[in-house]
Amino acid sequence: MSPRQLLASLATVGLMALFGFGVWTVLGTLQTRGSNVADPTQQQALVALPGTLVVAQNGSLYSLHGLSFSKLDTAPGNWVQVAPGPSGDLLAVDKGNGYSNVLLLNQQGQTIRTLLSESSTQFFNNHFAYYPRLSSNRQTLFYAWNWVDPSANYNVDFQIQAVPLANPGTTPTQWSIPNYYQGGDVEPLPLSNGGLIYAKYAVNTTTGATYSQLVSVSSPESQLNYLTTPAQNCSEPALNPQATELAMICTDNQTQTSTLQVASWNGSSLGPIRLLSAGPMAAMPTWSPDGKSLVFMDPLKRSYPFQMWWVPNAAGSKPGVPQQVTQNLSLTATSAPVWYP
């Protein structure tokens, strides 16, 4: 064999080895894991919505303006559940290990002050505070807080309570009395008349069915006015700025499908329901500042990460078809977006 032939043979063998390695590598790239989840700042929105939205993903907060995302400059933490603050700023929950605090952030995400500090060196003094919402006069902070039964500490349920925003360290006013051992009451939605809508969870111990109902109350611990039935199984209420349309998420536990529905609201009851999205896992609707459209979370397909979707003319009699706003993200579906003008 001549040196040239030897060289050619070696090169061929090398190419063969490279080919085998290439096959191994290509197979690895065909894996489906991760479903292309990207950092929002590396992505462009598919639809330019007016104003600015704030969303949560993987413990960080991002603002969406036009087609571009920016990461908010929050302190290190696990940030979820943003809500409008008293003056164009933000309420947000910082989730810890066994507790969660509520803070007031500026629009850049920097901490202005801690409103609810639920962490403690004593285990049983730790608590969860979630779903912060301000009253319409922006003076009262409503939230869901895990109440622990002093006589039976297996019995832990969320209850709705409220504190003055100016002095959140005062003793909270309890607004709801949860059903014992049934999850409790969450998602407070303060009304302009001083009342409150929230989602109340319950269990039918005969059938084993778990469900939530939207209820309204006029004052703390007052009589419940049920807005939806157990069979409707609705939660996550969102009222448009005109307080005429209530969006909500209603779930079929058998098929594990949640849908986005809207009904007119007259201050005490709901009108006929309109289906805006059949899911499969619609979550956390938020109205636009003008109250005409709304956004919500939903995976592209069942068992895909959650994206944001937009429904034009959601308050009208002929709502538009949901349009996908984000792609390749994995937005926190238990955090409703904030939508500023």
Partner 1 sequence: MAAGTRPRRRRAGLSTHKSSFSWGRHRTLLAFLVVVGFAISGLSGVVAYFLPAVTTAFHVTGQATTGKGGRNGTSKGTIQATATPPPPGAPFTVLLLGSDNDAKFVAGQVLTQTMILVRVDPQTHKAVMLSIPRDLWVPIASGGSAKIDAAYLDGGATDAIQTVENNFGISVNYWAWIGLGGLVQLVNQLGGVDVIAQMPILDDQYPYDLTGNNPYANQRIAVLPGPQRLDGVNALTYVRSRHGDILEDIARSQKQQQLLVDIKDAAKHLNLTDIPRIASALGNGVRTDMALTQLSSIAALAKDFSNGGVQQVVMLPPDYSNAVINGQDALAPNWPVINALVAQYFPK
Restricted to residues 101-130, the positions that interact with partner 1 (CB under 8 A) are 123-124, 126, 128, 130
* Residue 131 CB, nearest approach to partner 1 (Å): 9
Residue among 151, 191, 156 at smallest CA distance from 175: 191
Q: Does 94 bind partner 1 (CB under 8 A)?
A: no
The 3-class secondary structure across 225-236, one letter per residue, is EECCCCCCCEEE
34 touches partner 1 (CB under 8 A): yes
Residue among 32, 121, 122, 317 that touches partner 1 (CB under 8 A):
32
Instruction: Give the angle subtended at the CA of 209 by the CAs of 175 and 187, to the nearest 5°.
Output: 30
Instruction: Tell which one of 299, 319, 322, 337 touches partner 1 (CB under 8 A).
Output: 299
Amino acid at 237: P
Is the Cβ–Cβ distance between 62 and 71 less than 8 Å?
yes
Q: Classify residue 177 by burial, with Cβ atoms within 10 Å: 0-12, 13-18, 19+.
A: middle
Task: Work out whether 321 is an interface residue with partner 1 (CB under 8 A).
Answer: no
Binding status of residue 16 toward partner 1 by CB under 8 A: yes
- Residue 158 makes contact with partner 1 by CB under 8 A: yes
Phi, psi of 166 (to 5 degrees): -70, -25
Query: Is residue 161 classed as helix, strand or coil in its secondary structure?
Result: strand
Instruction: List all residues 6 or more positions away from 53 whose beta carbon is below 8 Å from its beta carbon.
Output: 63, 64, 286, 295, 308, 337, 338, 339, 340
CA dihedral over 107, 108, 111, 116, signed as positive or negative: positive
Residues 46-65 that bind partner 1 (CB under 8 A): none
For partner 1, which residue of 6, 23, 75, 166 counts as binding (CB under 8 A)? 23
Which listed range, 134-142, 239-247, 249-257, 320-328, lies at the site for partner 1 (CB under 8 A)? 249-257
List the x/- string, 264-283, binding to partner 1 by CB under 8 A. Answer: -----------------xxx
Under rule CB under 8 A, residue 251 binds partner 1: yes
Residue 177 binds to partner 1 (criterion: CB under 8 A):
no
**SS3 letters for 40-58?**
HHHCEEEEEEEEEEEEEEC
Q: Tell the smallest beta-carbon distance from residue 328 to partner 1 (Å).
A: 13
Residue 182 is a binding residue for partner 1 (CB under 8 A) = yes
Count CB neighbours of 168 within 10 A.
Answer: 20
Establish if 2 lies at the interface with partner 1 (CB under 8 A). no
Nearer to partner 1, 167 or 303 (CB): 303
Give yes or no for residue 1 binding partner 1 (CB under 8 A): no
Rounded Cα gap, residues 190 and 14, in angstroms: 71
User: Closest distance between partner 1 and the C-beta of residue 239, in Å?
Assistant: 18
Nearer to partner 1, 174 or 257 (CB): 257
Question: Which of 237, 212, 251 shows the shortest CA–CA distance to 294?
Answer: 237
- Contact status: 31 vs partner 1 (CB under 8 A): yes
Enumerate residues 126-155 that contact partner 1 by CB under 8 A. 126, 128, 130, 146, 148, 153-155
The nearer residue to partner 1, 13 or 75, going by C-beta atoms, is 13
